[in-house]
Amino acid sequence: MHDSEIFKFKDMMMMSCTVQTLVLVPWFLVVFVLAGGEDSSETTAMFPAMFVFGDSLVDNGNNNHLNSLARSNYLPYGIDFAGNQPTGRFSNGKTIVDFIGELLGLPEIPAFMDTVDGGVDILHGVNYASAAGGILEETGRHLGERFSMGRQVENFEKTLMEISRSMRKESVKEYMAKSLVVVSLGNNDYINNYLKPRLFLSSSIYDPTSFADLLLSNFTTHLLELYGKGFRKFVIAGVGPLGCIPDQLAAQAALPGECVEAVNEMAELFNNRLVSLVDRLNSDNKTASEAIFVYGNTYGAAVDILTNPFNYGFEVTDRGCCGVGRNRGEITCLPLAVPCAFRDRHVFWDAFHPTQAFNLIIALRAFNGSKSDCYPINLSQLSRL
């Protein structure tokens, strides 16, 4: 797709008050053409850079360099990515932030671990996400090395030092204020911490409400650290409906067609507090005068897709495309496993992660969705502030 067609596509998206109309097949195919089109760096980017903090839902290769069991640098991961090769993304293809970057006109941003030796362009942003990482430092420890949110913020400080060497102080301040921060954390604090009582004590110490409070307290501290370093435009993704992922369906022996409601209720406890945090930060005398915080309602969008799968082109909602056991979720996708043939018809790629087709829809809703998708504004609106 040529640049003029990309701009035309974006303009049409901005005319829509909700992205629901984009799930029709013709639009769906157009977006895939966009995703495989010319280098986004040739267009005018809507933000100068995008910095990503998160877990395996958005990790683009950091864990490849860590001594961790949470790695995806083997086929069939990446089977639908460019070159049909694994990159360390936990999907058959692109992640949500890959698609968001393209919609924003940004080139593919590097994983932090690929930048440590230099020689990599970091001025369009860096991805610090780490599979098994969480808000809490201990989350995911049974899987080996990973970067918690605190560690990811520390890693960003190294990037900021490099950026500061190439820009004047005034330019760095403006660059930071205009750049986009995407944060997607919290999922592992449940599935690789609270919901594993044999490995972690958190569920015996905290009830679900107090655990959500603990997460939000730590989360707030790290977000304000990022604010203190100069960021002013934040998109914070909520926790998804974890009670619907194949791992939990298998572990809790859920009835066919049902999710594990107790687990979903935990996710909602966290998300409700996250919305309140966004409101508080957007009304605080200090942060509100300089910054905007946006809540990405991934929970609501995912529930909509799971409830109305055929509207989005999906046929299979309760099992992984690649995995072993009940719901193909008891053992996640193994090296050289044979995945399902029609991957775009599946919501879930493996025991924990969605397919590229699902990620695309979430990205579109974040880019130009209504307040029920992105609150109080979407990414397109945020770029124009």
Residue 350 annotated as catalytic? yes
Predicted confidence band of residue 285 (pLDDT cuts 50, 70, 90)? confident
pTM over 0.85: yes
Mean pLDDT of 316-345: 97
Rounded CA-CA distance 253/276 in Å is 33
Rounded CA-CA distance 349/246 in Å is 9
Q: How many CB atoms lie within 10 A of CB 24?
A: 13
Residue 56 annotated as catalytic? yes
Q: Are strands 323-324 and 331-332 parallel, antiparallel or unpaired?
A: antiparallel
**pLDDT 10s digits, 151-162:** 999 999 999 999
High-pLDDT (> 90) share of the chain, %: 86
3-class SS letters over 67-129: CECCCCCCCCCCCCCHHHCCCCCCCCCCCHHHHHHHHCCCCCCCEHHHCCCCCCCCCCCCECC
Catalytic residue among 56, 68, 179, 380: 56
Confidence at residue 43, expressed as pLDDT on a 0 to 100 scale: 62
Domain boundaries, the chain: 3-383
High-pLDDT (> 70) share of the chain, %: 89
Catalytic residue among 184, 350, 373, 380: 350
Mean pLDDT of 317-337: 96
Q: Which CATH class is domain 3-383?
A: alpha beta
**pLDDT 10s digits, 103-116:** 999 999 999 999 99
Residue 70 near residue 144 (C-beta atoms within 8 A): yes
Residue 353 annotated as catalytic? yes
Catalytic residue among 124, 222, 346, 353: 353
Q: Where does the chain show beta strands of DSSP type E? A: 50-54, 180-184, 233-237, 292-296, 316-320, 323-324, 331-332, 346-348, 374-375
Q: Is the pLDDT of residue 28 over 60?
A: no
Give 144's DSSP letter: B
From residue 71, how far is each of 65, 99, 324 by CA, in Å?
Answer: 9, 21, 17
Rounded CA-CA distance 82/99 in Å is 13
**pLDDT 10s digits, 47-96:** 999 999 999 999 999 999 999 999 999 999 999 999 999 999 999 999 99
Instruction: Write down the residue that tokens 């998804």 correspond to.
Output: 240
**pLDDT 10s digits, 153-198:** 999 999 999 999 999 988 999 999 999 999 999 999 999 999 999 9
Helix (H, G, I), strand (E, B) or coil at 331: strand
**pLDDT 10s digits, 341-359:** 999 999 999 999 999 999 9
